[in-house]
Amino acid sequence: MHELSLCSAIADTVREHTAGRRVERVTLQIGYLRQVVPDTLLFCWGFITDGTDLAGSELVVDHIPARISCRACGATTEIDRPILVCGSCDGTDVELISGDEFLVESIDVESVREPTQEIH
């Protein structure tokens, strides 16, 4: 279950960039071809963050479809299995356009509110 180590690394990255502010949401981009089970990743996030400064933060997964571009015919194909074959001409001279991503896309932190001043 490498999702546990992935969540640990994500938590470390989040902490590096939030300067101690309370984290509300972390959004990831995960490509179709990455061998990550989203439900397991979400479960592990709760396990990793429970009782820490990240407790209660939400992990959101943005699924990125796998797309290839065929060098032979120029077609772009969205693939639904890890076989890189053009959907138009069955060519194998293709370039992966998307689907291999694993990226922390955004970190939403609690906004800091300035204290209001009472005017007398």
pLDDT digits (tens, 9 = 90+) for 49-107: 999 999 999 999 999 999 999 999 999 999 988 899 999 999 999 999 999 999 999 99
| Domain range annotation of the chain | 3-13+20-109
Average pLDDT of span 106-111 = 93
Q: What is the pLDDT of residue 1?
A: 56
Q: What is the pLDDT of residue 118?
A: 63
CATH code of the domain made up of 3-13+20-109: 3.30.2320.80
Angle formed by the axes of helices 38-49 and 3-18, nearest 10°: 60
- Alpha carbon distance 31, 69 (integer Å): 16
- pTM comes to 0.82
Phi, psi of 35 (to 5 degrees): -90, 70
114, pLDDT greater than 80: no
- State percent of the chain over pLDDT 70: 92
CA angle, residues 16, 97, 78, in degrees to nearest 5? 115
33, pLDDT greater than 90: yes
Q: Are 105 and 27 in contact (CB under 8 A)?
A: yes
